[in-house]
A and B are shown apart, each in its own frame.
Chain A
Amino acid sequence: MKVTIAKIFLFMLAVVSLYAYVGQLVPQFEEHPPKKKVITPQTTGDDLVAAGQEILRGKGGCLICHKDQERGNERGPDLRRAAGKAATRKPGIAAEAYLIESMVEPYAFIVEGYPKMMPPAMKPPASLSMAEVKAVVAYLQSLGGAEVTVSVQAGDVAAGKKAVGPVHRGRQLMDANGCLGCHKLAGEGGAVGPELTRVAERREPAKIAQKIADPKLWTAEGFQAGLMPPRPDLPEGDRQEIAAYLAGLSGKAYSPTGAASPWSHEGVRLGVVIAVFNTVMLLVLAWARSREKSPLSPGPSPIEGEGRNAAGDAT
């Protein structure tokens, strides 16, 4: 038996090794996420072109369908000729404006012979800013050997709505829980408690989250202790989000980890589900036990014990 098991095991190893070996035969390369590139109105000329090339080949994902050199994909038009043809694509629209439009609203004009498949550059997954779009335009202009006319303005640098996770709810939560009744935030709110706009410069965000639940932790200088009502009833996650929002106002990155105490709402909810199922099962068991012992049932079965043992074994 041992020999057969060993043979089967070796057979399995041979099969998985064969598949892994075939995996070594195909081209091997790692793909890394695109590097973050800071583009400002001061980024001009060759720097803007270089940034555009990097975005086109990385973050923009343009080369999945286009090519910017002899070898490459041909699902979309050849980018080496894009700037040269831009002026003649749509009547009444200048070359630079056309290039921007072709990235931001790709379906406004489809080049003949190509499918309608390009995702808008400023939407996910590329989510480029206008400054990045213009950098790509600069690169396309340089590819065609034309003069780079595009320039980045201050308004182009701001990113669109960025995916920032749960932080954005912080302000909403502060409004909903009446924090601004006593605290001032960005020029709004009362003066009973300290101004909170830059509070994260003085305190760690994690501590701010704790302070909401337990105001006794400290009292800001010049303010009366004991005025702030403790809010341990606020879910841990909500307190973390307020702290993250305040951290953001001070230019700090803080990610609430979602750490919750066993008595947080999540913990209590889980406990209730577990308790309900266990209680119901215990009640059903008690009922079954009473049925088993009921005097209305005939005398004990001679094989009752056998049944119990079998159940025990199986468990």
Chain B
Amino acid sequence: MARAIATSAFQALKGTYKGVVKISVLLVLTYLIAQGLNSFLPAADYRSALGLPNRVAVWAVAELHLMFAAFVLGVPIFALITEIIGVATREKRYDDLAREFTKLLAMAYTLTAVLGCVLLVLFIVLYPKFTGILSKIFKPTWIAYIVLIFGEVIVAYLYWYTWSLLQGVRKKWHLLLGLLVNLWGTALLFVADAWVTFMMSPAGIDDANNLVSLWGVIHNHTWMPINIHRLLANVAFGGAIVAAYAAVRFLNAKTDEERARFDWMGYVGSFIAIAAFIPLPFAGYWLGREIYQFSEQMGVSMMGGSFAWLWILQAMLIGSLFLASNFYLWLGMGRIPGAERYTKFQIGMMIVLTIGFIVWATPRSIIATGTEMSAMGGSHHPFLGLFGVMAAKNTAVNLMILTTFFSFMLYRRGNRIPIVPWAVAGKALQALAIAAAAAVVLGYGVYSYFVPSITRIGFSVYQVSAVLTSMALFVAIDIPLLKGAREIGAIRWGHIPARAQYALFFLAVSFTWLMGLMGYIRSGIRQHWHVYGRVMDESANAYTMAHGQATIIVSCIVVVFFLLVSVVFWLAARGGEPAESPAGEASAAKAAGSAA
């Protein structure tokens, strides 16, 4: 038995070493190519490559790198959550699901690293002066970043290769490895975010750009809000990609067993995606507030300048995400015996979501001809203009979040009837919590119109707090309420219409497109600055392009991303089914069994 364990451990370490070698080769090649090109090409502040606009080239590669980075950071979080659920529920299918997605990591890491290396070469070659300035300021962090990359690769490969070895009583060590993968990944994210956010909201340097405080540089206004926003978004993104994968497999499934498995997988993916998606707008508010704190001018450019129109597009995307999530949940209720008793709520929820969507997507200024504007008395419509302001939009989004949460809770209890003696009181308290939150949101929404803007901004905190409190209270009551609940019937996994799978796929595409759009807005509000207010972009590419052109580029990036992700899934599928195991499954399983 000891020999079997030693063999498995050796195989796991061998596989991990291959990952280390791969990263080492990539880093050395990148360094040599970048410095070689830089020495070979004539000294210049800016260069161009193959006649492509520098900004578009860097944007496309950076966005693809970011999407894959989100994928490789989101999937381990997803895997760890499902693995923990598997341990808690003692259901092996959760463990299999976590393993199936962890298997994708090796290939996805390689693609992420290759894209990161291409990005670095582009920066050094196309923007040598700017890269020189940034690398000087951040000198101590880049070496830490490389150490973190190696650490992440080692723990992630070990996490995958020791899956069979660390089963049974050793499972806790595997969970610890999963936790380490995520901690390491989060540290990587935080370091990279310091570079990105410094460009938006520089701090820690003097008037001549001398480094005054490295911590000041890192801990700038937007660093922590972006960290939290990206962390949540990565979980939502990871869940959405898992759900999209399950949807594709469901639509191609040939047997009922396969359909049941992928239906369940899609549900788990969408559950995690929606759960992480719900608090995302709050993290977005925090980021927006910090941007205003840093520079009113930047904030106004973002919300009231030319970029304001892209928020209408963002509203359309998020509205679509809310509608698609609810649509999927309602279709999913069709396979839950007993859930039909909640169908009556769907019309009301649909109305709230649709009105919320319309309000959120209403622009403050209407595009109109001179005659139409004269008739309206300005660029703001006398009635619709009321819905174009943040007071209305905050109210709409909070109500949409509350509705989606309610929808999700109904789905959760679809086939269960609480039997605790206090069930009626508990349900009444839950209804009261939801109604009170809705009243607070609506009340402050209407009151907002009658107070100055500075007071109005503070109201959004009360609205958000009311929604979060009611959700927390609802869940706190729900857990004991459904403990030992009577089950009306088992969920009929696989009995869901194909359009529900398209809804899942739509969620993933929309999430990805939204990431592309928000990345563009976040970066674009720097306008003609590399580092806002400090280092100006003096190249011919320094202009901010028209929105139509930007959205076409975002669409192209999303299509390329999905094609690359398909390749990752395809290559992973060629490696065999997950049950065939990583390192020495049989020997390790035997060893684990003996140890247990």
Contact = CB atoms under 8 A, between A and B. Distances in A.
Interface of A: 1, 4-5, 7-8, 11-13, 15-17, 19-20, 22-24, 26-34, 61, 64-65, 71, 73, 75, 115, 117-119, 123-127, 160-166, 168, 205-206, 237, 254-262, 267, 269-271, 273-274, 277-278, 281-282, 284-285, 288-289, 291-292, 294, 296-301, 303-304, 306-308, 310-311, 313-315
Given A1-B252, A19-B510, A33-B536, 7 more contacts: A4-B252, A19-B517, A22-B551, A262-B35, A297-B3, A303-B586, A304-B4
Contact of B44 (A4, A255, A261): A255
A306 B587 contact: yes
Interface string B136-161: 10000001001100100010000011
B132 A274 contact: no
Given A20-B555, A310-B581, A270 B31 contact: yes
B506 interface: yes
A31 B527 contact: yes
A101 to B, nearest CB: 19
B593 interface: no
Contacts of B429: none
Nearest to B128: A257
Contact of B551 (A12, A24, A262): A24
A308 B586 CA distance: 11
B312 A307 contact: no
Given A277-B150, A307-B584, A314 B313 contact: no
B295 A19 contact: no
Contact of B7 (A164, A259, A304): A304
10 tightest A-B CB contacts, nearest first = A307-B584, A23-B551, A124-B533, A125-B533, A33-B528, A257-B128, A258-B132, A26-B309, A259-B38, A297-B3
Contacts of B575: 313-314
B60 to A, nearest CB: 14
A13 B558 CA distance: 10
A311 B14 contact: yes
Given A23-B547, A267-B31, A33 B527 contact: yes
Interface string B289-330: 000000111101100111001101100110000000000000
Interface of B: 1-4, 6-18, 20-21, 24, 27-28, 31-32, 35, 38-39, 43-45, 103, 106, 124, 128-129, 131-133, 135-136, 143, 146-147, 150, 154, 160-161, 207-210, 248, 251-252, 295-298, 300-301, 304-306, 309-310, 312-313, 316-317, 367, 379, 453-454, 502, 505-506, 509-510, 513, 517, 527-529, 532-538, 542-548, 550-552, 554-555, 558-559, 562, 575-576, 580-588, 590
A281 B502 contact: no
A285 B533 contact: no
A297 B2 contact: yes
B248 to A, nearest CB: 6
Contacts of A270: 27-28, 31, 143, 146
Nearest to A124: B533
B14 A298 contact: no
B431 to A, nearest CB: 36
A291 B161 contact: no
A33 B304 contact: no
B533 A298 contact: no
Given A11-B502, A33-B528, A257-B44, A311 B584 contact: yes
Contact of B17 (A61, A119, A123, A285): A285
Nearest to A12: B509
Contact of A297 (B6, B12, B20): B6
Nearest to B563: A9
Given A19-B513, A258-B124, A259-B35, A311 B208 contact: no
Contacts of A71: 379
A160 B207 CA distance: 9
Given A64-B305, A310-B580, A125 B295 contact: yes
B577 to A, nearest CB: 11
Determine which residue in B13, B38, B576 has the highest number of CB atoms from chain A within 10 A of its CB, and name it: B13
B305 A166 contact: no
B547 A64 contact: no
A315 B106 contact: yes
5 contacts: A16-B558, A20-B554, A22-B316, A27-B306, A285-B10
Given A33-B542, A115-B453, A119-B295, A257 B548 contact: no
